[in-house]
Structure 1
Amino acid sequence: MSQKLVLDTDLLRARVMNLEYEHLTAEEIRRIYIEETGSDPPDQIHVYHSQDFKNININDSGFDGTIIHFYDEEKRINQMYTIARGSEIQEKDTWKPLDWAYNTFGIFVGQNKNQYDDALRFDEMVTQKITEELKRNGQTIELKKIGLGHSLGGNHVQVIQLTAHRFDQVYVINDAPPSAYQLAYIDKRFRYELAKKFTPNILSDYNLIYSIPPSELKAFAEEYYKKQIDERSIHHLTAQEDLLYAVSGVRGFIDIGSRQVIDTNKDFTSIKDLIAKISDKDVKAIQVYLSQYSYIYNEKGFDGVVQAMTGVDIAFIESLQDYDTMDYVLHAEDILSKIDHMYDEMSEKIPVLLKHIGILYKNLDPMLSVFVQLGYMTVEEKNTVLSEVKGIEKDVTSIQQLLHELLNRERLIGIVFLNPVDILQCIETLFQIRDKVLDIEKRLQIIQENTMNLQNAITMSVNAHSLNEVIMALARSKGRTYDEYGNLILIKKMGAHEIRMNLSSAVRVYQKGLQILEEKETVLHKMKQRYFDEYVEDFEIQKRKLMNKIEDMEQNPWAYQRLLGHFTYDAERVYVLRRIEVHESIPPMDPMIPHIFETMFSYYEQEISKGKELIATIKKSFEEFFEQDQNVAKIFDLRY
């Protein structure tokens, strides 16, 4: 019998994927499952995080992911969900965009597969671990494997499915689509088929792939992979405003599987029309230009790419930020040596970069005209941007000239001697370069101010890309939403007004309240028992001991002869204790003792009773307010 999916709705999958960005736990999965289904999840939930497998990130690729294993013998459930994390804006503790750099070099250019390798290895390792555990326990239910992913994570699970066929089903949300360039770099069999179809030389010169007509490459790639897998195993959920969906029509990207498109923002459609205006020729030029830096990104990451494109040693420049004037003089020889080396690099790289800036300026007018036509900027804003970009080109040229002056001066210093005046003039030139950089920053600020509408469009497209926007769109149709902490908010309209009630918080208050009251009842029960043991029972025990003593004295008076004192031997024969009569009078326990305790116990019992009534009111209010939603009542009775 086929297993019913545990995470069987888009909303349930989206909420779990969104939680993966924080740090997914079995408790949080259970909470979300109960809130969305109104029923208990499978009996066993095990969570595996990629950072717990130390050898996963040996290349520091930036891959992160989580695997959830659900098992329930009674329900016949044995399912494993591999969640690959989506793109994060920047690397941890730095400004560098690691994941988005991978999007560029790994997907768009198609010449990096580090994150793919780590994602595949993570899935293989955890699958083996789960399989061995199931075997040890004698569990025979077939393991069903599902791949989940958002953004870059959606790309990972799709490519794994296309190349390694690891999953029974794949569900992706606002995914970065696979590209034929990426697949050809990863999948040698596909690349071999491309060589047979288009040109054998592609096996030795990968860059020839960019010369294959995009439409032919796309058609061939999609036909090839549809023969490798069941296309119905891949399911896309896409916000029509999503940025990645907007660029999915760009050369190289392929589309395999079913797709559901949803509207996450009624006031915004998409920048897809804008993206479509960019010529394929320009896109190809970008790909070819970036492809020469792919191997550097693979080896040195984003810093290596920046240095390779500009010849600027970022680490060296950053180290100078902490120097004062005297430091420059003291370390002049080392500084001049490094400037000399950096200049050699820049003399080769900067002209190429300036050439591309020139090409950008040359084509910027028609590109900005498209933005004007689409309503993303005014004519005045366009002209301002053009003027500032031209100014940036002039500033970069000036910086290049200043670097030449700096180099000539430091070489003169090196030939003659370390003259402090010349050194300070070198420092002055550095300050002039700094001022030019500040001028560029001011120009960039002006450009930013004059492209706000365009930025808003892109921002809205980026926002639509987030899982949170998708979750909100899916939830609206069910009369619910979620706050920033993932709490479920139920919405009900009362006339023209809208009432929102935080169900997650209410359930936590209800269940935590019950737990506290149960703990109080346990403590109260122990207090009563302790009172009975230490006062009531102990009083009776002491009374019984006294009565037993009296009875013993009356029945065995001779045993207490010593009570008469000490006599001589002959006197002891005369003075013999023959009978004891005890006239006992044992008063009852002081009535104030039970009164104090019973009053205290009664007070606590009333407080506990009031607490139960209060939290029962919370539950009843939700049930009555949302009487048509049967899941609401169930959620309160299921423990997170």
Structure 2
Amino acid sequence: MKQEGVLSELVRARLTSAEYDGLTKETVEKFYIEEYGQLPPPFEIIHSDKLQIGEESGFNGTAIHFFDDKQAINEVYVINRGTEGDLSKFAELGEKWFKTLKNYKQNPENLKEIVFSGNEDIYTDAYEVLLGDDQSQIEDNQDFKDKVIQKVNEKNLLTKPVFFLDAHSLGGNQGQTLMVTSGDLFTDVNVYNDAPMNIYTIVRMHDKIRKIIEDKYGILADEHDIYKIKPSELYSILDKELGSYASKITYYRNEEDLLTNLTLPYAYRLTNKMNVVTFDSDSKVGRPVDLAAKYPDLTGMIVSILDRANQVKGLSYPEIAFFAKSGFVAAALPSLFHNDFERRIGHLIDDFEGIDLTGHAMDVVIAQIAKQSQQKIVNNELMIKVADIDGGEIEINLDAAYRFYSEGYSLLFGKEETIPAMERVFQTYIVESYQRHVTYTTQQMAEIEENPEAFLSSSDRYTVDVQYHVKYSNFRFLDRPRPQLAPNITMLFDEVIAGIRLETNRQKEFLEKYKDGIKKLAETDERIALLFDTHLERRQSW
């Protein structure tokens, strides 16, 4: 039985997608208003990077804490995002292949730093999801969870906290592992097109299972000997110890997703007939090929290469040359020039390139969840029908319409903020600077009038001529008032400021007319009025 909380399944999925761009209070408020037609309870967003977590591993997560003792609300939603990478960095390594190869051969154990710098998520895909050899992001996720718990407890709320978890792709692997290694902390967990847990990671990270395995097999879980234990021998132990978690988790999947259709060698999930929700977003595309099952020999070879590449000795030069040559020939040359091994690689590449990867996207799952509640969401943006016409419908993209309004006010406020800044600059660098020069010049004139002889050179013909002494002592500059800044300068500046104020007033009038127009288009939908009418008040807390 799923735990119902402040956020619906749809809002949780939408926030999981939006987390890739960095969750903001505006986004949380917007999704909540669009779903419920009311303002959310008070909440705080906690970002892992603000806690200096994940700087080395590449882990990135967010938690949203809703709290209100009056409504007995104390709920925490932890979100784990999926793989993010910069493939251009691999291209740069390829251009510097000799230096990269040299650095690797000198320090094979530093493969992550040498090859995967800036692509730590991809390293985690290979060495945690696939191999179960690196748990750095899992450990950072646990650290993040502990910090979130600490922050929640610091509020000293009367209501006991309830923890939820949502995760996509690589985050699915991390989220599931976090759930099973956190006791009964998480009440409800959703994963979307998830990467599976790795059985060896579970053994290493779950204290009780770790002890069972070490006692039974007489090995240390952190040692490489753990891979001598066949996965088939571990599944029954994991099922016994972790089976109860299956009732807490829901697997949302798209039929066309690549990842959930892969049979990875060390994969473990808690799936059953009750907790898997599968959508068919595009029946024309169909289920993708299970590349791991179709090419078991190549899958095993990839696992072996990755495993040895990260060891102290690393791969040898002949091995690197052989694999590089085979990959190049398979990808670049016609099959006529392939040997059997290269032909297999070529077929794998062709099959992979034929897969539509959009089926893995979070927004595809969101669209299907929205359909279940008779809503239409495209690219995580809510579409609202405003009219029927000629057998069709007229829709507005509410998120796009609101974004135009919000960004318009951001530009407007930015202009308004420049006015006092410009006035300060004008006062400091024009008015005050001019007055400083006038004051300095006046002081110099006064000194000359007081002691003119001091300002005459020794070669001046009047210096020793006594008859001019009286004339010098009565020396005066023209007796006029201090010159003031030319009025036309201040007038021009005032005109510029007035022009900016006029422009911002017109922009404000336009935005309010725009808002009224959107509200009129869907005047029966109270969510729209609330979303737009509370914007200015809400943004004061962003």
- Counterpart in the other structure of 2:238: 221
- Counterpart in the other structure of 1:489: 383
Could you tell me which of 366, 387, 396 is aligned with 1:501?
396
1:622 aligns with 2:531: no
Could you tell me which of 266, 270, 283 is aligned with 1:256?
270
- The CA RMSD measured in Å over matched residues stands at 4.1
Do the aligned partners of 2:245 and 2:270 also contact (CA within 8 Å) in 1? no
Could you tell me which of 187, 207, 215 is aligned with 1:168?
187
TM-aligned CA deviation for residue 94 of structure 1: 6.8
Question: In the aligned structure 2, how far is the partner of 1:292 from the partner of 1:611?
Answer: 61
Q: Aligned AA for 1:147?
A: L
Question: In the aligned structure 1, how far is the partner of 2:390 from the partner of 2:128?
Answer: 53
TM-aligned CA deviation for residue 116 of structure 1: 0.7
1:189 aligns with 2:208: yes
Could you tell me which of 285, 288, 295 is aligned with 1:271?
288
Question: In the aligned structure 2, how far is the partner of 1:502 from the partner of 1:151?
Answer: 27
Question: In the aligned structure 1, how far is the partner of 2:508 from the partner of 2:288?
Answer: 59
Could you tell me which of 141, 149, 156 is aligned with 2:159?
141
State the SS of the aligned residue for 2:256: coil
- Counterpart in the other structure of 1:116: 138
Aligned CA distance change for structure 1 residues 295 and 387 (closer, same or farther; 3 Å): same
Do the aligned partners of 2:515 and 2:532 also contact (CA within 8 Å) in 1? no
1:235 aligns with 2:250: yes
TM-score if structure 1 supplies the norm length?
Answer: 0.55
TM-aligned CA deviation for residue 219 of structure 1: 3.6
Question: In the aligned structure 2, how far is the partner of 1:83 from the partner of 1:284?
Answer: 32
- Counterpart in the other structure of 1:553: none
Give the paired residue count: 408
TM-aligned CA deviation for residue 253 of structure 1: 0.9
State the SS of the aligned residue for 1:21: helix
1:69 aligns with 2:65: yes
More helix by share: 1
Do the aligned partners of 1:90 and 1:98 also contact (CA within 8 Å) in 2? no
State the SS of the aligned residue for 1:266: coil
Map 1:270-349; keep pairs closer than 5 Å.
270-279=287-296, 283-294=299-310, 308-309=314-315, 349=316
Could you tell me which of 43, 46, 63 is aligned with 2:44?
46
- Counterpart in the other structure of 2:197: 178
State the SS of the aligned residue for 1:168: strand
Question: In the aligned structure 1, how far is the partner of 2:336 from the partner of 2:407?
Answer: 63
Aligned CA distance change for structure 1 residues 45 and 201 (closer, same or farther; 3 Å): closer
State the SS of the aligned residue for 1:270: coil
Aligned CA distance change for structure 1 residues 295 and 171 (closer, same or farther; 3 Å): farther
Aligned CA distance change for structure 1 residues 39 and 273 (closer, same or farther; 3 Å): same
Cα offsets for 1:373-403 (capped at 9, x unmatched): xxxxxxxxx996534555998xxxxxxxxxx
State the SS of the aligned residue for 2:354: helix
1:470 aligns with 2:365: yes
Aligned CA distance change for structure 1 residues 193 and 92 (closer, same or farther; 3 Å): farther
TM-aligned CA deviation for residue 464 of structure 1: 1.5
Do the aligned partners of 1:68 and 1:82 also contact (CA within 8 Å) in 2? yes
Map 1:201-212; keep pairs closer than 5 Å.
201=219, 203=221, 206-210=224-228, 212=230
Question: In the aligned structure 1, how far is the partner of 2:354 from the partner of 2:224?
Answer: 36
State the SS of the aligned residue for 2:22: coil
Question: In the aligned structure 2, how far is the partner of 1:22 from the partner of 1:383?
Answer: 36
TM-aligned CA deviation for residue 12 of structure 1: 0.9
Do the aligned partners of 2:3 and 2:188 also contact (CA within 8 Å) in 1? no
- Counterpart in the other structure of 2:30: 31
Map 1:336-375; keep pairs closer than 5 Å.
349-354=316-321
Aligned CA distance change for structure 1 residues 385 and 164 (closer, same or farther; 3 Å): farther
Cα offsets for 1:78-115 (capped at 9, x unmatched): 11111122111338977643212211101211110111
TM-aligned CA deviation for residue 618 of structure 1: 3.2
- Counterpart in the other structure of 2:351: 454
State the SS of the aligned residue for 2:303: helix
TM-aligned CA deviation for residue 512 of structure 1: 9.5
Aligned CA distance change for structure 1 residues 210 and 617 (closer, same or farther; 3 Å): same
- Counterpart in the other structure of 1:583: none
Question: In the aligned structure 1, how far is the partner of 2:389 from the partner of 2:337?
Answer: 53
Do the aligned partners of 2:219 and 2:226 also contact (CA within 8 Å) in 1? yes
Do the aligned partners of 2:165 and 2:190 also contact (CA within 8 Å) in 1? yes
Aligned CA distance change for structure 1 residues 293 and 190 (closer, same or farther; 3 Å): farther
TM-aligned CA deviation for residue 26 of structure 1: 1.2
Do the aligned partners of 1:145 and 1:168 also contact (CA within 8 Å) in 2? yes
Aligned CA distance change for structure 1 residues 91 and 223 (closer, same or farther; 3 Å): farther
Q: Aligned AA for 2:8?
A: D
Could you tell me which of 351, 376, 398 is aligned with 1:480?
376
Structure whose CA Rg is larger: 1
Do the aligned partners of 1:108 and 1:182 also contact (CA within 8 Å) in 2? no
